[in-house]
Each structure stands twice: as structure tokens, then as C-alpha cells.
Structure 1
């Protein structure tokens, strides 16, 4: 009898079990008959419990808040901040929600989101997350890079090697954002070589190269196939080696977005035709796939599965 291959796990929460549980409990389908109807506790309490348990793990906190802001019904954060207007966690979550939503509205909404971000920085003075919400708002509003860097610096001062901070500024510096290719690549390299051994920032040059590939691919994924040659140039080889030695082989505990970084590393190794080194990366990933960067290629899920099975069968 033929066995069905286990489905891929493609989740914004990645492999974060407690975050997955919270999202499942509060998914929109369960709110059809009124948010929180029949509950004996506030609808926002599971989110509050999750963030309270996260504590000062800034890396996981930034990841969880960003995913919650995108995936929760908007009424959850609205109800929470209405019930607890001075709660720091409620303010930070709402700041992320408004930073994502305000640019699509009007100038008044943007100003309101900015004020909310600043209120969150005052309520949680040691937390880098409110500054990242403000940085996201500035990115959406096309604020020049020179004005955004001081906000990024505020986040970095609170958590010097926080992965999320560097990836957000990388997006800002991208030619698809508000920067240039040289600015993006130089920033990625400087961060990677200065970061402590074992830091996921060792992969920042690979993330920049993927971003460059996305910038150059044109309008259709098939054009990305012709942009793959740059993965074999000497600098790309060095970037992959840095990612392997500086992070993957270092044996550091997994960070909140390790699944994302593993997908980028696996993608780079397949583009560079290094299947032997890709095998342990795919084994660590298992069923976890992220749409980016595989969506740069045709049939991303099928492509991921093909390379994973080919690499792990060696």
C-alpha cells in the first residue's frame, strides 16, 4: 500500500508550539457568533498569558507579537487595550497592529499609529519591540532611511544582536524598500562579521542575496531560474561558508525564527549545488517550510520537497 507523504507545515508561527496553540484558540472561525461569547475570561487573556510567559526573551517576544498582530482578529487587541489601557503588552501588540494597518488608511491614522508606538515605548522602556513597530510604520510610509536609522538604533541599544532588528533594517535598505543594493549588501556583511559566533546574523548576507534575487527576478518566478548563477561566485561561496560555520555548525540553541533561517540556508545550498551540506539542514527542517524564499521559484512546495528528499536520501 502506498503511504501518503506527511504534509508540509507552512505556518507564520513556524515551530512555536505555544504561539500555535494561542492562535488556534483565537482563530477567527471561532468568533463567528460574537468575539468571546460564552467565555468566562477575557478573550485577550490567552495572548496576555503567552506574552507574560515569554518574559524578556526579546527575540521570541518580537516574533510572537509580530505574528499575533497579523493573525489575530483585530477585535482581540482592541478589547484588550480597552480593558487594560495602561497594559504594556496590550500597547505593544496594538502598536504592531496599527503600524501594519494605518498606511492603508489616511494621514490621521498614521499619526495615531505613531502616537501609539511612542506610548508603547514609554510603557515598556526596555523592550525593543515598540521601536520595531515604529520602524515598520516608517517603512510603510516611505520615510527616508536616514530618518529611520535612529529608530532602529533605539531597538539595537536595547537588544544589541536581535535578529528581527537587523532583518527589518535590511528590508528598509533593500532596493525593493527605500535603499540601494550596495547599502543593503554592505550592511549585511558588516553585521555578519561583527556578530558573536553562533548568532543567526551570520545568515544576513544570504538573506540580502535572496532579496537581490527577488529584486532582479522580474514579474514572473520563472525568471528567477536565470538569476541563480550568482550563487556560485566567490563571494556567495564565502557567504554560505560563513552561515554554515558561524551559525549552523555552532550548536547554539535555536532562536524564534530558526525555521526561516534554515529555509534560507537550504535554498542557498540548493542554488549553489551543494547537496551534501544541504542534507543536515533539510533534516533539521523536516516538514517546516516557509514560502519565502521558495516562492522565487516555480511550484515552491514541490520544489522544496524535491530538494529535501534528494538531499536527505544521499
Structure 2
């Protein structure tokens, strides 16, 4: 009898089971006019419970709020702010919702989102998340990098090695964003060199090289099938070695977006033809796949499954 391959888990909440439960619990209510008709408690209360439990874990808080802002109907955060105008969590979530959905050309929406970010920063002065929301708004509006860096610095001052802060600025510095290849790579190398041992920022140069591959692939799609990221040049080999030694092999406490970083590392190792080192990365991933960076290749899900199954075979030999 043929054995059925387990389905892949591709979801924005990644492996955050508590966030997944909250989103699942809210989905049936969203279908009732999007506002939880017939519920005895406000629709926003499960979200409030989740963020209250998250506490000052800024890494997980940034991830959870980002996913909630992108996934939930905007009416949920609006009602929460209306009913609890002094609630810092409500303000931070609302800031992320508005910055996530404000069109760059709608000046009124942009101004409103900016004002909400500053209110959230005032309401939660120790939280880096409102500043990350403001940074995202500036990215949408194509604000020059030199004007965005002070906002990034506000986030870093509150949480010096927060993964989300560095990846947001990396996106800003990307040639697909508002920067250049040298700026992006220099930033990634410097951040990785300064980060403490075990920090996921050790992987930042690899993420930058994936972004370089995406940039080159947009210009010459054929390169995405080959070496568009120059994975075998000495600097790339060194980047992968350091990512393995300083993060993956360090066995640090898993961070909120570890699944994303593991996908980037597995992808890069397969591109660099290092399947033996990719095998334990796939083992740690299990069924969890992210769309990016596998979407840089034809048939992403089949490609991921191929390399994962090949890695499973290697572990059995």
C-alpha cells in the first residue's frame, strides 16, 4: 500500500500554536458579519488575552502582532481601541493594522497611521513594536533610508538584538526596497559580526544573499535556476559556515520566527549543494514550510518536499 506523504504546514503563525489557536477560535466569528455577532464577550478579548500572556517577550510580541494585524479584520482592532482607548496593546495592534493597510498615495490614511504609531509608542514606551510599525509605513511611502534609520534606532534602543528590527531594515536596504546591494550586504555582515553567539542575526547575511538572488532573478529570471545568489563563492561559504556555527549548532532557545530562518538556511544549503548539512535543518523543520524563499524556484512545495525527503533518506543511511 502506498504511504501518503504528510501535508506541509504553510501558515503565517509558523509554529506558534497559541497564536494559531487564537486565530482558529476567531475565524468562525469573523463569518458572522465580521464582528462576532451573537458572542457574549467582545471579539477582541482573545487577542487581548494572547498579548497579555506574551508580556515583554518583544520577539514573540512583534511576530504575533504582525500576524494579527495582517490576518484579522480591521474592525477587530478598531472596536478594541474604541472600547479601551487607553489600552496599550490595543493601540499597538491598531498601529500595525493601519500601517499594514495604508496606501502610500492616501495621505490622510498615512497621516492617521503615523499618528496612531506615535500614540502607541507613548502608551507603550518600552515596546519596540510601534517603531517597527512606523518603519514599515515609511517603507511603504518610500521615505529615504537616511530618514528611516532614526526610527529603526528607536526600536533597537528598546530591544538591542531583536530579529524583527534587523530584518525590517534589511528589507529597506535591499535593492528591491530603497537601498543598494552594497548597503544591504554591509549591514548584514556588520550586524551578524556584532550579534551575540546564538543570535538568529548570524543568519542575516544568508538572508541578504537570498534577497540578492531575488533581485537578480527579477532582472534575469533564468538566474534563479542556477547561481543567482553566488552560493559557492568564498564569502557565501563563510556566511553559511558562520550561520551554522553561531546559530544553528548553538542550539539557542527557539525564537518566534525560527521556522522562517530555518527555511532560509535549508534553501541556501541546497543551493550551495551542501545536502549533508541541510539534512538536520530539514529534520528540525518537519512539516513547516514558508512560501519564501522557495517561491524563487519553480514548483516551491514540490521542491521543498523533494529536498526534505532526500534529507530524510540521508539520515537513514
Instruction: Answer yes or no: same fold by TM over 0.5.
Output: yes
- The Cα of 1:103 is off from its aligned counterpart by 2.2
Which moves more between the two structures, 213-222 or 285-294? 213-222
Structure 2 counterpart of 1:137: 137
Answering whether residue 191 of structure 2 is matched by residue 191 of structure 1, we say: yes
Shift of 1:27: 2.1
* Distance in structure 1 (CA, Å) of the matches to 2:75 and 2:26: 11
In structure 2, the residue matched to 1:243 is: 243
TM score, norm. by length of structure 1: 0.97
- Does structure 2 conserve the Cα–Cα contact (< 8 Å) formed by 1:221 and 1:298? no
Which residues of 2 match residues 44-123 of structure 1 at below 5 A?
Answer: 44-104=44-104, 106-123=106-123
C-alpha distance in structure 1 between counterparts of 2:108 and 2:117, whole Å: 14
Q: Deviations over 1:207-235 (max 9, x none)?
A: 00000000000268654013346100000
Normalised by the length of structure 2, the TM-score is 0.96
Residue matched to 1:24? 24
- Structure 1: how far apart are the matches of 2:62 and 2:251? 23
Task: Supply the RMSD in Å over aligned alpha carbons.
Answer: 1.3
1:34–1:205 CA distance, 2 compared to 1 (3 A): closer
Separation of aligned partners in 2, 1:229 and 1:239? 12
Partner of 2:300: 300
Gaps of 5+ in 2: none
Matches within 5 A, 1:162-241: 162-218=162-218, 222-228=222-228, 230-241=230-241
Gaps of 5+ in 1: none
Q: Give the secondary structure class of the aligned counterpart of 2:201.
A: helix
Aligned length in residues: 314
For residues 34-69 of structure 1, the C-alpha deviation after alignment (integer angstroms, 9 at most, x for no partner) is 521111111000000000000000000000000000
2:259 corresponds to which residue?
Answer: 259
| Aligned equivalent of 2:7 | 7
Say whether 1:279 aligns with 2:279: yes
Matched, 1:288 2:300: no
Match of 1:158 in 2: 158
